[in-house]
Structure 1
Amino acid sequence: MPNLPPDAPTITATLKSHTSTLPKPNHWSVDAVLKDLPNPPASSTSSPVPFLHYVERLKLEKREGWRRFGISSGESIADHMYRMSIITMMAPSNISSRLDVPRCTRMALIHDMAEGLVGDLTPVDGVPKHEKNRREGATMDWIADGLLGKYNGGVNGRELREAWQEYEDGTTEESKFVHDVDKSS
């Protein structure tokens, strides 16, 4: 999240609980969230349209850091991923010459895709990191297999899942760069 203006309220004065509009089942699973979600995307079709409707959710779901400060018009998850992808494309030549920039851009566009069902969980939400990772992995599996598994022979779904996993692992130069971009944006 970018620096806030000097007159922004302090976090201690305005800290709010997680404000996502996503369902919050007691025992989180992709199926439990989808069951309570109005108009969930259809799974197991050969059409990419349900996936595109899912991606639309990322435009509607706001990032929590902004909302906790009472800024209702802050960036959405999609806004954040888009800005990150532009930043990767604008990398100076001393960095871009050492990286596969299109791969970085793809990773930036995918890295928070699971938040369309998981939400933008932050450390103050009280969800342990391993549980957050489990939820995001399960959501990416559902995207790859359930939403895109029958589209184009499942190729697009596998590629999305692989790019997300590369980001999560953080072991390639490209994923390290995208992590740095994420921390700064």
Structure 2
Amino acid sequence: MSGVPLFPPTDPHLAAQVGFVLEIDRLKGVVRRNLIADASRRENTAEHSWHLAMLAGTLAEHAATDVDVARVTRMLLIHDLVEIDAGDTFYYDSVAEVDQAEREQRGADRIFGLLPAAQGSELRALWEEFEARETPDARFAKAIDRFQPCLLNFHTEGGTWREYDLTRTEVLAKQGGTIEDGSPSLWAYTLELIDEAVRRGYLKP
């Protein structure tokens, strides 16, 4: 059973940590709407988190201000752990958005609560910082989180943009401030991608 070591360590501190790492293995089973770049299948949330961590390290020079890449990477690796309980909420699903925060808070309570108290509090604080988007690290992390789906949608000839019949206006409304706040240069490139997607018919005007 996920989250319960079949042969737990005798040290309760280590046992809690092993239980946590077994539990978060379930993130591999949370499927997102976005397709992977070759369009062969949808990505899962664990893959998404890994990809964002790699983007953060690769694109850190494009952050709006100096950031701590290690902290940004940690944020991105944990930011969606709550989806083990809350599920993935599609950006453009206004119905699911209504109780998203409540579902994710409950997920955070349980999942970070599996760890020893100090460690759980540390990761919970990073998750909350990411969600609040009030620090340079969090703003860049959020920008990366919003940029990656745009990149994948373009490279899958519209991906979820086309699947859900989205318009340029809808995409800009969701992505604009978040990406621009964290990385003006990535936002400039995102605008180019979006406009080229409209030109190619991947996205409605």
TM-score range, shorter chain: 0.5 to 0.7
CA-to-aligned-CA distance 1:17-54 (integer Å, 9 cap, x gap): xxxxxxxxxxxxxxxxxxxxxx4535xx6411221122
Q: How does 1:36-51 map to 2 (within 5 A)?
A: 39=1, 41-42=3-4, 46=13, 47=15, 48-51=17-20
**Kept in 1: contact 2:89–2:97 (CA 8 A):** no
Quote the RMSD (CA, aligned, Å).
Answer: 2.5
Structure 1 position 92, deviation (Å): 4.5
Query: Normalized against structure 2, the TM-score is what?
Result: 0.59
Question: What is the percent sequence identity of the aligned residues?
Answer: 29
Change (3 A) 1:95 1:65: closer
Alignment partner, residue 20 of structure 1:
none
Query: Normalized against structure 1, the TM-score is what?
Result: 0.65
Paired amino acid for 1:155: A
CA distance in 2, matches of 1:102, 1:181: 14
- Structure 2 residue runs of 5 or longer lacking an equivalent are 5-11, 149-205
Task: Give the number of equivalent residue pairs.
Answer: 137
Looking at both structures, which has the greater relative contact order when contacts are Cα pairs under 8 Å and sequence separation is at least 6?
1
Q: Is 1:178 aligned to 2:151, yes or no?
A: no
Alignment partner, residue 73 of structure 1:
41
Q: How does 1:1-185 map to 2 (within 5 A)?
A: 39=1, 41-42=3-4, 46=13, 47=15, 48-66=17-35, 73-93=41-61, 95=63, 98-122=66-90, 123-124=92-93, 126-129=95-98, 131-145=99-113, 147-148=114-115, 151=116, 154-185=117-148
Paired amino acid for 2:57: M
Runs of 4+ residues over 4 Å off in structure 1 = none
**Kept in 2: contact 1:167–1:178 (CA 8 A):** yes
Structure 1 position 132, deviation (Å): 0.6
Partner-residue secondary structure (3-state), 1:75: strand
CA distance in 2, matches of 1:126, 1:93: 37
CA-to-aligned-CA distance 1:52-106 (integer Å, 9 cap, x gap): 1221111122113449xxx773211000000101111112536387111111111
Structure ID, larger Rg: 2
CA distance in 2, matches of 1:175, 1:50: 28
Structure 1 position 124, deviation (Å): 2.5
- Structure 1 residue runs of 5 or longer lacking an equivalent are 1-38
Structure 1 position 141, deviation (Å): 1.4
CA-to-aligned-CA distance 1:3-30 (integer Å, 9 cap, x gap): xxxxxxxxxxxxxxxxxxxxxxxxxxxx
CA distance in 2, matches of 1:61, 1:124: 17
**Kept in 1: contact 2:112–2:124 (CA 8 A):** yes
Task: Using the TM superposition, name which of 170-179 and 116-125 deviates more.
Answer: 116-125
